[in-house]
């Protein structure tokens, strides 16, 4: 993966140490790579689609919950599997963004995807806004999406509930926020994706995608494969400062999250200030000890381990206190992220290279999307 990056960007002079990647067997065990073809006897190559909003440098929760999974898919999927990874910049506009800031975030996000090991020669990496077929299909799907379906989306109910709580007029909430699950469905279906890696908080949106695809197939004939779920074995990584809430880019306290580009000293400093508790010993109990349990999970994931209780028992048997636990977790995170940070620092300044990657990725994505859009238009009578 890194060799492909080097060969296409000789000026960067990148010679990173290749990060060790844990086995991907857990994902295969959860969701076998199989799919429903749109018609009996049809043969469809497997296509995996996933996306991330370019709203700042990804943090450790993004990495363990989504981005590292993309690397496993790139490494372990059969050679004929289509891998499509998207910077969903149109989704970022559901909240107000400063134009110059969004442009910078897009560049930084693309550099981060290359730094973690995505190979543009193996997969399609592109910006959503460069492929108009996404929004065209969104409109066509919107015509079959009921208000009731969208009102039931948990994230919408959460946002509208916040508006009521903050005495904000619910009618003032934006259409983009209400309808973005339909754009998310279009992102997936326009590439005829057969599999979609999702976290726990996105399962409902994928179910909406499956419903819209099945409804379209019912009314207009077999058009879309029904995408299958690939669940991540990694649980949500929680905030270092408020361990009962998910780690977030938008949290006001920068010490609540570890960015993939943080220096070793910054990582250690943030972990040193992580909220734990005053209970003696090291035990794994998310309900009773969320802060300590979050640190144990981070250490386990960065060390390619899955038995959190066993990890906690080892720390306890070693007589480790909270300070020692935080230092141990910091060491694991620093070792795991150091190769990513080094590559990022070299690549982010290569404007010409990043622009070329974005352009070529958009060309490949257009080829994938425009064929689907033409079939849809013919099905509904537009062509």
326 is catalytic: no
* Average pLDDT, integer, range 358-380: 97
Cα→Cα distances 375→88, 143, 381, 383, Å: 23, 17, 10, 9
Q: Give the pLDDT score at 12.
A: 40
Q: Mind listing the pLDDT tens digit for each residue in 141-183?
A: 999 999 888 888 877 766 666 555 554 566 777 888 889 999 9
Q: Give the pLDDT score at 198.
A: 84
Cα→Cα distances 279→234, 276, 284, 295, Å: 26, 9, 12, 15
Angle at 354 between CA 349 and CA 360, to 5 degrees: 170
DSSP letters of 108-133?
HHHHHHHHHT--TTTSEEEEGGG-TH
**Phi and psi torsions of 59, nearest 5°:** -105, 180
Confidence label for 3 from pLDDT (cuts 50, 70 and 90): very low
Supply the DSSP symbol for 47.
E
159 is catalytic: yes
Angle at 23 between CA 21 and CA 26, to 5 degrees: 135
Q: Mind listing the pLDDT tens digit for each residue in 266-300?
A: 999 999 999 999 999 999 999 999 999 999 999 99
How far is Cα of residue 25 from the mean position of the Cα atoms in its chain?
A: 19
* Average pLDDT, integer, range 190-200: 91
**Phi and psi torsions of 373, nearest 5°:** -60, -40
Q: Give the pLDDT score at 211.
A: 95
**Phi and psi torsions of 197, nearest 5°:** -70, 130
Question: Catalytic one among 235, 246, 366, 377?
Answer: 246
CA dist 248 and 201 (Å) reads 13
14 neighbors 2 (Cβ within 8 angstroms): yes
CA dist 299 and 244 (Å) reads 18
Question: Catalytic one among 69, 157, 249, 328?
Answer: 249
C-beta atoms surrounding 180 within 10 Å: 23
Q: Mind listing the pLDDT tens digit for each residue in 306-353?
A: 899 999 999 999 999 999 999 999 999 999 999 999 999 999 999 999
323 is catalytic: no
Task: Enumerate domains of the chain plus CATH numbers.
Answer: 2-236+351-380 (3.40.50.620), 254-342 (1.10.240.10)
Q: Mind listing the pLDDT tens digit for each residue in 86-104?
A: 999 999 998 889 999 999 9
Confidence label for 45 from pLDDT (cuts 50, 70 and 90): confident
Q: Give the pLDDT score at 153.
A: 83
Mean pLDDT computed over every residue of the chain: 87
* Average pLDDT, integer, range 95-114: 96
Q: Give the pLDDT score at 170.
A: 65
CA dist 242 and 259 (Å) reads 16
Residue 244 has pLDDT above 60, yes or no: yes
Q: Which residues of 20-44 are buried (b: 16+ CB within 10 A; e: fewer)?
A: eeeebeebeeeeebebbebeeeeee
CA dist 69 and 61 (Å) reads 12
Residue 56 has pLDDT above 70, yes or no: yes
CA dist 341 and 230 (Å) reads 28
308 neighbors 300 (Cβ within 8 angstroms): yes
Question: Catalytic one among 159, 360, 364, 377?
Answer: 159
More confident residue, 225 or 34: 225
128 neighbors 187 (Cβ within 8 angstroms): yes
Q: Taking the CA atoms of the chain, what radius of gyration do you get in angstroms?
A: 22
Residue 361 has pLDDT above 60, yes or no: yes
* Average pLDDT, integer, range 363-373: 97
């Amino acid at each position: 993966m890194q060799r492909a990056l080097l060969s296409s960007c000789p000026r960067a002079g990148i010679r990173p140490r290749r990060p060790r990647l844990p086995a991907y067997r857990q994902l295969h065990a959860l969701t076998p790579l199989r799919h429903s073809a749109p018609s009996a006897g049809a043969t469809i190559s497997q296509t995996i689609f996933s996306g991330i909003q370019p709203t700042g440098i990804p943090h450790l929760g993004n990495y363990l919950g989504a981005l590292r999974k993309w690397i496993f898919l790139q490494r372990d999927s059969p050679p004929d599997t289509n891998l499509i990874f998207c910077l969903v910049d149109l989704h970022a506009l559901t909240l107000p963004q400063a134009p110059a800031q969004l442009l910078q975030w897009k560049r930084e996000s693309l550099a981060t995807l290359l730094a973690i090991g995505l190979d543009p020669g193996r997969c399609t990496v592109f910006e959503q806004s460069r492929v108009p077929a996404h929004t065209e299909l969104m409109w066509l799907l919107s015509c079959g999406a009921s208000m009731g379906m969208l009102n039931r989306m948990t994230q919408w109910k959460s946002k509208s509930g916040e508006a009521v709580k903050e005495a904000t007029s619910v009618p003032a909430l934006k259409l983009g926020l209400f309808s973005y699950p339909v754009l998310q469905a279009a992102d997936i279906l326009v590439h005829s994706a057969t599999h979609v890696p999702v976290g726990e908080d996105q399962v409902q949106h994928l179910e909406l995608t499956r419903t819209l695809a099945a409804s379209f197939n019912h009314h207009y004939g077999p058009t879309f494969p029904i995408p299958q779920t690939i669940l991540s074995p990694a649980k949500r990584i929680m905030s270092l400062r408020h361990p009962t809430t998910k780690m977030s880019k938008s949290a006001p306290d920068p010490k609540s999250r570890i960015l993939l580009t943080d220096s070793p000293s910054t990582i250690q400093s943030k972990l040193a200030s992580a909220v734990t508790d005053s209970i003696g010993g090291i035990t794994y109990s998310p309900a009773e000890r969320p802060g300590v349990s979050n640190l144990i999970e981070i250490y386990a994931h960065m060390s390619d381990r899955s038995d959190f209780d066993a990890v906690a028992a080892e720390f306890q048997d070693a007589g480790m206190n909270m300070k020692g636990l935080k230092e141990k977790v910091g060491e694991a995170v620093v070792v795991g992220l150091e190769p990513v940070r080094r590559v990022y620092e070299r690549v982010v300044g290569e404007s010409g290279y990043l622009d070329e990657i974005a352009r070529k990725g958009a060309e490949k994505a257009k080829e994938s999307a425009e064929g689907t859009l033409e079939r849809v238009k013919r099905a509904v009578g537009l062509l």
